[in-house]
């Protein structure tokens, strides 16, 4: 059920932005490309998209924890460790810069020239196909990489344990992890599907923004997101919920919701 909800929700957001919001911006984007050059303009726009979606929305979803709001908190007995957050920020910032520096060349060289034709946006059928493939590829890849990082004792001790410093997370720590893990577990599963589909860059930009906001919310520590506290429970228990949507966890018997979650009927 969560898979259907995720596919439907992402497709609706893609259609809303590509059909009703982006068209009015296309002349400005094209003028910016003429002024800056095509690829510098693409890099600047993609970077702005990343900054706004991560740092802008990250701050919004960190505010309840920063102000120690108890309402809607999943782990109500735990408050934000502000000193730990400050200590975590340098690695978070490093990983953010790393994902931009690695992601931009993958987008530019991994997608065809037609992906950057702003006057030829994808149809509903193409978007629906892409959304399904994106989410399934992300779910499967993230699940197996994440599960491996837990089950391989050497990898957990030297790599993944860093992320689990946070047993009660806050939004920004979504990318508080070893840089190797960030590239393998966070960046690759998200970019692989669009590259395989040869998706349109505009659709990919929406997917990246929505995916970033989603992971910020599921790390917020509050009942804001569609995962029903699934990932927060992973940080509390370590041995459950290795995937994004619960599909692979349901197959492997590792799906578990925290106390207070809405139970499916």
pLDDT per residue as tens digits for the range 57-85: 999 999 999 999 999 999 999 999 999 99
Res 10: pLDDT: 97
Query: Which 8-state DSSP code applies to residue 255?
Result: -
Res 265: pLDDT: 46
Res 184: pLDDT: 98
CA 170 to CA 123: how far, in whole Å?
A: 37
Q: What would the two tokens of residue 130 be?
A: 């892409």
Res 264: pLDDT: 54
pLDDT per residue as tens digits for the range 104-117: 999 999 999 999 99
pLDDT per residue as tens digits for the range 48-59: 999 999 999 999
Could you state, in order of their start, the residue ranges of all structural domains in the chain? 2-63+85-164+173-214
Length of the chain (residues): 265
Res 263: pLDDT: 57
R_g (Cα) of the chain, nearest Å: 19
pTM of this structure:
0.96
Convert 215-224 to b/e letters by CB count within 10 Å (16 or more is b).
bbbbbbbbbb
Residue 141's SS3 state is: helix
Greatest Cα pair distance, the chain, in angstroms, is: 56
What are the residue ranges in the chain where pLDDT is below 50? 265
């Amino acid at each position: 059920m969560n898979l259907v909800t995720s596919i439907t929700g992402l497709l609706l957001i893609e259609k809303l932005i590509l059909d009703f919001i982006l068209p009015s911006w296309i002349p400005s984007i094209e003028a910016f490309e003429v002024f800056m050059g095509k690829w510098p303009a693409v890099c600047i726009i993609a970077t702005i998209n990343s900054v706004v979606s991560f740092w802008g929305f990250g701050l919004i979803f960190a505010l309840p924890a920063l102000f120690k709001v108890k309402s809607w908190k999943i782990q109500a007995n735990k408050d934000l460790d502000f000193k730990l957050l400050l200590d975590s920020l340098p690695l978070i910032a490093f990983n953010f810069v790393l994902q931009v520096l690695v992601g931009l060349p993958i987008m530019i060289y991994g997608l065809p020239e037609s992906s950057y034709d702003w006057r030829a946006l994808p149809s509903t059928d193409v978007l629906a196909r892409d959304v399904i493939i994106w989410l399934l590829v992300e779910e499967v890849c993230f699940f197996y990489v994440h599960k491996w990082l837990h089950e391989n004792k050497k990898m957990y001790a030297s790599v993944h344990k860093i992320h689990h410093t946070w047993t009660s997370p806050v939004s920004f720590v979504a990318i508080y992890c070893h840089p190797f893990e960030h590239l393998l577990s966070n960046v690759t599963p998200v970019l692989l599907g669009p590259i395989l589909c040869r998706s349109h860059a505009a659709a990919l930009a929406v997917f990246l923004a929505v995916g970033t906001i989603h992971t910020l919310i599921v790390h917020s520590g509050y009942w804001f997101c569609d995962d029903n506290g699934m990932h927060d429970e992973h940080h509390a228990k370590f041995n459950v919920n290795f995937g994004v949507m619960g599909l692979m966890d349901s197959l492997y018997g590792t799906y578990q919701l925290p106390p207070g979650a809405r139970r499916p009927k």
